[in-house]
Structure formats: C-alpha cells, structure tokens
Structure 1
C-alpha cells in the first residue's frame, strides 16, 4: 500500500503526517506555523519535517494543503492574505520537490477539505458547497461531481463577500464572534467554548453576541444557496466542535432568510473529517481525484 506525507498549512499551525492511499492517517503531528516569519520560512519548516519523516518512511509523494489561492498546476501561491506575509509567489511544489526528491502536489486548504469530504465523508452528494468557519471563512464549490476552481484559482473566496456592507468573514467567523462578545460583555481573550457555555446558561449579553454572529452567518449561507442551489452545504472549521447544537442553531437561523422552496431542497450538514480533512483531501488530489476540476 502506498504511503504519502501530507501537510496542512494554516495561519497558526501546520498539521502533517503519514496518510495511506485509502485515506487512513497512520501518524499525525502539529507544529506552529510561525507565519510572521514569512512564506519561505514556512516552507523551510515543511522541508525540515519532510526530511525527518522521509528518513523513517517509504513515501510515494508529498501532498500539501495550504491557505492562500493556489495555482495547483504549478503548485505556486497566486495570492495570500496578511496572515502569512510574503507568501504570494512562493513556488511550494518546486521548492519542496527539489529539496526532498519526491513528487509534490499543492492545493488550497478548503478545496482539499472539500475533496476529503467528497472522498470519505459519505455525504451522498455530487453538488455541494463547503464553508470552513475559523479565524476567517473559506469556501469550495463542487458542481456535478467536479470542483470549480475559478478563472484564476480563486473561486469560493466568499469570506470577502459583502454582507451588510462588510466582509462576510468579519462578522460570521470566530473572529467576529469574539468581537461581538467583547462588545456586549467585558473585553477579554474569549474562546468559542467560553462564549457558548455562557450562551447555554442564558447569559443575556452573550446571547445578543451569539445572535449577531448567527445572523451574519445565516445571511451569507442563504445568499450562497440562492446563487448555487446546491444539494448540500457542508460546514467545517473549529466552530463546529459545538456539534449538533451548532448545526440546529444555524439551520433555524437560515430558515429566516430562505424561501421555502430553497430551504426544503438544500440540506445543511457538518463536515465529518474534522481537522484531518485537509490532509486527506490533499492526498486525494495528489492521487488524481476522479472529481476533475473545471473552469467556466
């Protein structure tokens, strides 16, 4: 059985490990991204970890999922946000392949998460959109079993979409939730769990904060459903640790903004692969997913 070394590069952490051709994760490690040091520093960390892993495993290749807009043909970062400075233009595929002497494939992290869900999530859907709700909001689009990448590999970047005149991810992300908590409550370094614990206990100020967060999230999701008419909306990211409570709260809020004909024909579900989806999807992409990418 073939084994691959998979990396999932985020703004805060880099997850990596050995993944089989069946999507089984045999080992899993985490290291700090130290994004403030810049894009090339991140790739140096990937190469160092790759050398260590390659010394102890027989690898068929290296599969990389990363934040940023990625030309997956060349494995180059087309554009990246401020979270990772000096990342735009970094030729990840070439740098890592040259250093480790192994074939390398690179793709956007949310695209990889969507591919992982398509492969092993058992969602039973060939047309869906995926959202990851974390520090920001990322997206991916699968239409009739094919991933849509966009003209310049930027499709699904709806974190930048305007809702009430502000970027969707400003208010509908964990960043937004914490900002609302700081507005209605005393300022502190909130975690999502702390906020929802108070929410469940009936704290009126926190309920106002969470209500604002859900309102923005629901409006954004409703707009996307109107645009894409997907079979399913798959939501992932750290916020989904709340589980079924989170899902039901989102569904109830979305119902306020969707016409009944749209609401009954679109199912909102949680991602099933959790934080491992990026690594698994990266391997799926490396192997040549049957869900080919197309551009309009």
Structure 2
C-alpha cells in the first residue's frame, strides 16, 4: 500500500508523519514551527525532517498543509499573515520537490482540514462550509463536492470579515474569548478550558464573557449560512473539545440571528478528525491532484 509523508504547518507547531493511501496515520510527531525565523527557514526545516524520514521509510510523495494562502497549482504562498514573516512568495512545492526528488502537493491548512473531513468524516454531504475556531478563525467552502478556492486562492478567509465594525476573529476566536474574560478578571493568563470550567460553575462575570463570545460567533456563522446556504457547517479547533454542549450553545445563540427556515435546514456539527484533519486532508489533496 502506498504511503505519504504529510506535514501540517501551523504558526506554532508543525505536525508531521506518514499517512497511507486510505488516510490511516502510521506515525506522527510534533515540532515547534519557530515561525519568527521566517517562511524560508520553515521550509528548510520541512526538507531536513523529510530527508531524515525517507532514509528509513519508503514514501510515494509529500503532502503539505500550511497556514497562508496557497496557489493550488504551483504550491506557492501567495499571501500570509504576520504569524509567519517572509512567507509570501515562497515556492514551497518546488523547493521541497527539488530537494527530495519526490512529487509534492501543497494546500491551505483549513482547506486541507475540510478535505480530510469530506474524505473520512462521514458527513454525507457535498455542500458544506468549515470553520476552525482557534487563535484566529479560518474557513473552507465545498460546493457540489468540490473545494472552492476563489480567484486568488483566498476564499474562506472570513476571519477578516467585519462583525459590528471589527474583524470576526477578533471577538469570535479563543483570543476573543480570553480578552472578554480579562475584562472581568484581569491579571490572569486564561485558557479556553479554564474559562468554560468557570462558566459551567456559574461564575456570573465569566457567563457574561462567554455570552459575548457566542454572540459574535453566532452572528458570523449565521451570515455565512445566508451567503452559502450549506447543508452542514463543520466546526473544528480547540474549543470543540467541549463536544455536543458547544454545538448546542452555538445553535441556541444562532436561533436569535437566523430566519427559521435557515435554522431548521442547516446542521451544525463538530469536526471528527480533530488535530489530524490537516495531515489527512493534505494526503487527500495529493491523491486528487496526482491522479
């Protein structure tokens, strides 16, 4: 059975491992991205890791999921945020392929996560949008079974859209949740889990903070439903560890902002592949592009 070297390059960590053609992860590891060193240094790290791995394992190609806006044809980074400096313009596909003498495919990380869910998540739909709610908010769009990338491969960057005059991801991300919590309880480095633990215990101030977070998240998702009319909205990211309770709380808030027919006909579900979706989706993208 064919197997592939898969990378999921994030602003904080790089996940990597070997994934077979059926999407099963055979091995995986984590390493710090050291994003402050810049895009070219990250790709040098990917190449060095790959060279070490292929000395002992036979692989049929390299599948890369990465933060940033990616030209899906050339594998070049056409746009990147401040998280990874000097990443725009880096020809990831060519650099890795030339160094390893292997076929390489590259795609945006949230697109890959959505592809992974589409492949192995058993969502049984060909029309969906996906959101990752983390430090920021990313998105991906699948229409009639096909990933929609947009004119400059930037579709789904709805973390930047304005909700009440501010970027969606400023208030509806984990960063936004923490900022709301700090308004009421300062001098503390919160995590999302700690905030929700206090929320479940009935802390009045934290309940206000969480309500603000859910309000912005629900407005943003509702707007996306009006635009795309998807059958399903798949939500991934760290906060989804809250499970079905998270979905119920989001839906309860969305009911305030969605017309009844849209609310009834759109299913909100959690991503099923967790932190592995990017690697698995990168391999699925590789298989689709190479076949």
Same fold judged by TM-score > 0.5? yes
Q: Is the 8 A contact 2:141 2:147 kept in 1?
A: yes
Structure-2 residue corresponding to 1:60 = 60
- Aligned partners of 1:54 and 1:256: how far apart in 2? 53
Summarize deviations over 1:159-206 as a string: whole Å, max 9, x none: 000000000000000110111111121232111111111010001111
Instruction: Give SS of 2:59's match.
Output: coil
- Aligned partners of 1:36 and 1:114: how far apart in 2? 27
Structure-2 residue corresponding to 1:181 = 181
Structure-1 residue corresponding to 2:158 = 158
- Aligned partners of 1:61 and 1:18: how far apart in 2? 10
Question: Is 1:211 aligned to 2:211, yes or no?
Answer: yes
- Aligned partners of 1:168 and 1:237: how far apart in 2? 16
Q: Higher mean Cα deviation, 23-32 or 185-194?
A: 185-194
- Aligned partners of 1:256 and 1:28: how far apart in 2? 42
Q: How does 1:45-56 map to 2 (within 5 A)?
A: 45-56=45-56
- Aligned partners of 1:15 and 1:160: how far apart in 2? 26
Structure-1 residue corresponding to 2:257 = 257
- Aligned partners of 2:127 and 2:137: how far apart in 1? 20
- Aligned partners of 1:102 and 1:145: how far apart in 2? 28
Question: Is 1:233 aligned to 2:233, yes or no?
Answer: yes
- Aligned partners of 2:192 and 2:82: how far apart in 1? 23
Instruction: Give SS of 2:180's match.
Output: helix
Q: Is the 8 A contact 2:134 2:173 kept in 1?
A: yes
TM-score computed with the length of structure 2 as normaliser: 0.98
Instruction: Give SS of 1:234's match.
Output: strand
- Aligned partners of 2:5 and 2:187: how far apart in 1? 42
Structure-1 residue corresponding to 2:142 = 142
Q: Higher mean Cα deviation, 95-104 or 266-275?
A: 95-104
Structure-1 residue corresponding to 2:69 = 69
Structure 1 segments of 4+ aligned residues over 6 angstroms from their partners: none
Structure-1 residue corresponding to 2:30 = 30
- Aligned partners of 2:123 and 2:66: how far apart in 1? 24
- Aligned partners of 1:39 and 1:239: how far apart in 2? 28
Structure-1 residue corresponding to 2:133 = 133
- Aligned partners of 1:242 and 1:41: how far apart in 2? 35
Instruction: Give SS of 2:40's match.
Output: helix
- Aligned partners of 1:72 and 1:147: how far apart in 2? 11
Structure-1 residue corresponding to 2:279 = 279
CA 271–103 in structure 1, closer or farther in 2 if over 3 Å, else same: same
Summarize deviations over 1:119-147 as a string: whole Å, max 9, x none: 00000111000000001000000011111
1:289 Cα deviation from its structure 2 partner:
6.3
- Aligned partners of 1:49 and 1:124: how far apart in 2? 36
* Structure 1 gaps, min length 5: none
Q: CA RMSD in A?
A: 1.2
1:158 Cα deviation from its structure 2 partner:
0.2
* Structure 2 gaps, min length 5: none
Query: How many residues are aligned here?
Result: 291
